[in-house]
Amino acid sequence: MSNIKLQISNQVQMSNDTKKQYNLGERTAKFGEEIIKFCRVFVKDVINVILIEQLVRSGTSIGANYMEADAAESKRDFIHKIGICKKEAKETTYWLRNEENNWTFWL
């Protein structure tokens, strides 16, 4: 019974328009899908393969960890998993920002 109360308390009551705008589960899943599409256009040389793997891992992990946070069993568990989401987002930003000049695209 306490788990049900926790799940309800973690949900914010919003209008349908606001739910669409702030649906983090959907947005993080879409972000992961876009990362995968983005990485498919690169030449698969020795360096790019490593960079692509890192970017796909961190970029898709954000959504997976958010889904775990959304099903958290306690407030502490929720905070921990959201913290992991933040770390993965920062790592994804790193790979996108610092490696952008090293990519070789298919022509």
What DSSP designation does 99 have? S
Cα separations in angstroms, 32 against 56, 68, 69, 95: 8, 15, 16, 14
Per-position pLDDT tens, the chain of length 107: 334 343 434 454 555 565 566 899 999 999 999 999 998 988 888 888 888 999 999 999 999 999 999 999 999 999 999 999 999 999 999 998 866 767 666 54
- Sketch out the chain's domains with CATH numbers: 2-8+15-102 (1.20.1440.60)
Q: Are 59 and 71 in contact (CB under 8 A)?
A: no
